[in-house]
Amino acid sequence: MSSITPSDRQAIVSLCEKHHDTYHRKSDFRQCITYKSYFIKYDSHKSLRFQYETQKYIYNMTLNDPHAPRVPEVIDYFVVDGRMAYLVMEFIDATSPADDAYEKVAAAVQWLSEVQVPPDVVIGSVGGGPASHKLFKDHEAPLLFSSKHALEAYMNRALEWLPRPLSPDIHKPAPINFTTDKLFFTQSDMDKSNFMLDKNGKVCMIDFEAVVVLPESLACYTLHATWDPFVRKVGECLDWTQSPNRKSMGRAGEILHMSSDRTLGLDKDGHFRASS
């Protein structure tokens, strides 16, 4: 592993500040730069540290595993003034888009789902970050759910907030049930930009902001409840059946995106919060 010197850190901070000042108003702005043979992401330590912890953990799980996708090695992570953080990782050069490599991307997603989940992670990211999924408002869970049953209670609470059907012929959504769901790592943002091919044709997973532990119903929802042709074709390459919770989760998501109380009055255990 290459070493980052104090002068490298100073140069990285300076380049990131210049990059932000120059490009932050552009619509395609991303908080990342290249420096020497490194790729750097910068953001608030409050959020970036979870991506760092997850990427470091998943990278370590790829070591000595010939079936694993390629994951950029984390070289350094440092925080300035307790606020802005910098994630320095290996820069994988000569990459090409994985837009048509559906089977390879599916194999990488399958491998990720089989990675052993750390004992201190229930739902969310390594390091204690909240779960990420498009069903949540702003794509981020409002609570650090203590179990899949707490998340189930939260989703079912959203169903209770749906307007009463105007016709008796319209059935209420079935309750969401995660009882038999496995909990595993998944890429909940299946954008094709998060997968690349290196010069040897191996899939690279390059963004861990939305790599989190979730019940398999939500992972399946990511793959099947979409109009994105890339994601749908990747899903077709996986032997994952569509979840019976799919329709009800979609209806719950409607409420989650509209509600001003993101917690719906519940705590992390899925119980009603005590009134103040």
pLDDT digits (tens, 9 = 90+) for 158-172: 999 998 876 676 778
Tokens of 71: 């994951």
Report the relative pairing of strands 38-44 and 183-187 from DSSP bridges: unpaired
Q: What is the pLDDT of residue 3?
A: 80
The conformation of residue 141, written as its DSSP 8-state character, comes to -
Question: Helices in 24-161 by DSSP H: which ranges?
Answer: 45-62, 102-113, 148-160
pLDDT tens per residue across span 15-72: 999 999 999 999 889 999 999 999 999 999 999 999 999 999 999 999 999 999 999 9
Between 229-236 and 102-113, two packed helices, what is the crossing angle to 10 degrees?
70
pTM of the model: 0.94
**Distance in angstroms (rounded) separating the CA atoms of residues 185 and 237:** 18
Is pLDDT at 1 greater than 50 in this prediction? no
Domains and CATH numbers, the chain: 6-91 (3.30.200), 102-258 (3.90.1200)
In degrees, rounded to 5, the angle at the alpha carbon of residue 48 between the alpha carbons of residues 158 and 225 is 40
Task: State the residue for tokens 């100073």.
Answer: 10
| Closest to 68 in 3D by CA, of 126, 26, 116, 137 | 116
Distance in angstroms between the alpha carbons of the first and the last residue of the chain: 52
Is pLDDT at 141 greater than 60 in this prediction? yes
